[in-house]
């Protein structure tokens, strides 16, 4: 038997219909459109990059943190962060 549905639908279904024998549960990931982070504007990113060194955050840690929040790649952010740091020094 193959059954498909959401997790809440599965809970409801298997509460009413006891599974027989062994079963395998396969859970799909979030839809890509729902996972996508809106990419920050360059101005927004630069203001965050300028605040990082003031707080003592290294370019590497700053790039890692902002990559998850901003929609920019870690590599792009690191390149800009090192440039900002060198200009502030």
Q: Residues 52, 62: contact at Cβ < 8 Å?
A: yes
pLDDT of residue 11 exceeding 80, the answer is: yes
Domains of the chain, by residue range, sit at 7-88
Query: Could you say which DSSP state residue 38 is in?
Result: P
Q: What is the DSSP letter of 26?
A: -
- Distance in angstroms (rounded) separating the CA atoms of residues 89 and 87: 6
- Would you give the end-to-end CA distance of the chain in angstroms? 65
| Rounded Cα gap, residues 81 and 60, in angstroms | 8
Per-residue pLDDT reduced to its tens digit, 20-66? 888 888 887 766 655 566 889 999 999 999 887 777 888 999 999 99
pLDDT band at residue 81 using 50, 70 and 90 as cut-offs = very high
pLDDT for the residue numbered 29: 73
Give start and end residues of each alpha helix (H) in 41-88.
42-54, 59-70, 74-88
């Amino acid at each position: 038997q193959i059954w498909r549905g959401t997790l809440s639908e599965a809970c409801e279904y298997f509460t009413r219909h006891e599974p027989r024998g062994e079963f395998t549960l396969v859970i799909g990931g979030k839809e890509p459109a729902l996972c996508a982070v809106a990419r920050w504007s360059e101005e927004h990113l630069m203001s965050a990059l300028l605040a990082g060194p003031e707080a003592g955050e290294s370019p590497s840690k700053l790039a890692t943190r902002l990559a998850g929040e901003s929609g920019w790649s870690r590599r792009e952010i690191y390149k800009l962060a090192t440039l900002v740091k060198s200009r502030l020094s």
